[in-house]
A and B are shown apart, each in its own frame.
Chain A
């Protein structure tokens, strides 16, 4: 197979990320039991499922923070031998679960960390763009990031992840623990990013909102992909929620 020529399962456009037979381990425990997944260029793929389904483990395998077998390709390049730093430099950036902003650094310094690997001159300009886009971050640029609210921290972590200009953005539970109004803002941002042509892999428990922004949906239960298809097949996600809670209960 010619690298990069593999067709994605959704729509036939080029896959940025392609995963085959992925198994992920936490110590001796196998958390993901062999899944296939593809994200096409410029699309948003949602990975849904209940707690403990293996969604975050899948993302950890992609970023290189969990032990895994199987193949992970980024634009046709096998990432298997790369460590965390080199996968990031290859173009994989994550806004992780729990946001993990550097609470002892200022807002501005957090953003600088996101752009630390860039060598072009526009870094400061890009950071300023983000600070204008989220005025609340702009107002607090010098403040310690630990003082931000949950929603502000979420915006900061997404901005930090994007400042490296990645090929694909991984978003892990961006709506977790946020007020409904803030969740709306987060999903508006994801919608904007998708429209700008960003490739996104979104892990969510909030199925309804995720399906709305996604082009393609995968459902994971107990470490396996149980269902996948274009987002429109999932309606508003209410059926899916019943299905998931049914499986769970």
Chain B
């Protein structure tokens, strides 16, 4: 059945997503065999980041825009899901002053997730009306404005969001298995979107806006759809975040998280989903090493000083270095199956 709806590029995309899914499963398998329990949390966080970075790729990568509002959408979804799913009895304690009866109901986690997706998607559509009409630079600046607006609302309405304090008591309904399934789903969806007609149009616009317009591509609509799709990825990540940690606060949904995820995408390469995956995995691994250094560990008997800001410094260096020497990141325009197929082709010619 699916064959009827998919074009040939999308079929290639399915092959590529399968390869990436195998990679993800191998990592989870390695953890199951040899990992220690504290690493589950790191792996979970990596996968949540991966969903965000893949979501970024759908708008930033296909359209070649830089946007920084994703942490805001992730936060919106995390709070929405958390408020819906937390039992009323718990909310009487954690959100005693919440207006509009927000602390008087509770939902099944799945319904809560759908409500969170719907709210985030609706806000995505609303902001998309602006974003899709703006030009390159303005898209970036306005996306930052969105991040700042949402963050200041989180901080200001402490009766709903608790601001920088923790909103606690969220049922921890997700585990590593759930997020693994979501990551694989995200990879497949992003690849299908990238190879769809709309994704292709968006990439055509990124290469040559005037030309693509002349060919009859409706730039505004293509941008709008991609923007909404990407907010749904961020929402998924936000829900997964809230459902695993059990407590959330406004602080993580701000600039530091934006730096991190943008660096991940840039390292791998904006233009490919495989790049998003590789970049996320590499930086997550690198950060674990740096975090350990930052705490001032004892290395070969020498106590290193505490180095606050080292991880940020290195993220910045990764961004600047990649932009200067390899502006299209590790993967450029290539996807994983391109690597595999090319190898096969050279093997054939060498015979």
**Whether chain A touches chain B in the assembled complex (some CB pair under 8 Å):** no
B residues with a Cβ closer than 8 A to A are: none
